[in-house]
Amino acid sequence: MAALCDKVDYNGNFAALAFGLPDANNAGKLLHRLDAGAQTHPGMRGTYS
């Protein structure tokens, strides 16, 4: 099994979204990137499956 290396700071980026730091366009892009991450959906399953 290969080690998973994802260079995304999920906690920091979700906090930025929660506090409304990015504008609407960039918030959508950031949310899409976070949702597509391997740490968000391991094995391409739902987060809570």
Q: Which residues of 7-34 are buried (b: 16+ CB within 10 A; e: fewer)?
A: eeeeeebeeeeeeeeeeeeeeeebeeeb
1 lies in a domain?
no
Q: How many domains does the chain have?
A: 1
Domain span at residue 23 reads 10-37
For residue range 6-49, what is the model confidence (pLDDT) as tens digits?
677 888 999 999 999 999 999 999 999 888 877 776 666 665 65
Answer yes or no: pTM beyond 0.85: no
Say what the pLDDT of residue 27 is: 95
Closest CA to 7 of 34, 41, 46: 34
Is residue 44 one of the residues assigned to a domain?
Answer: no
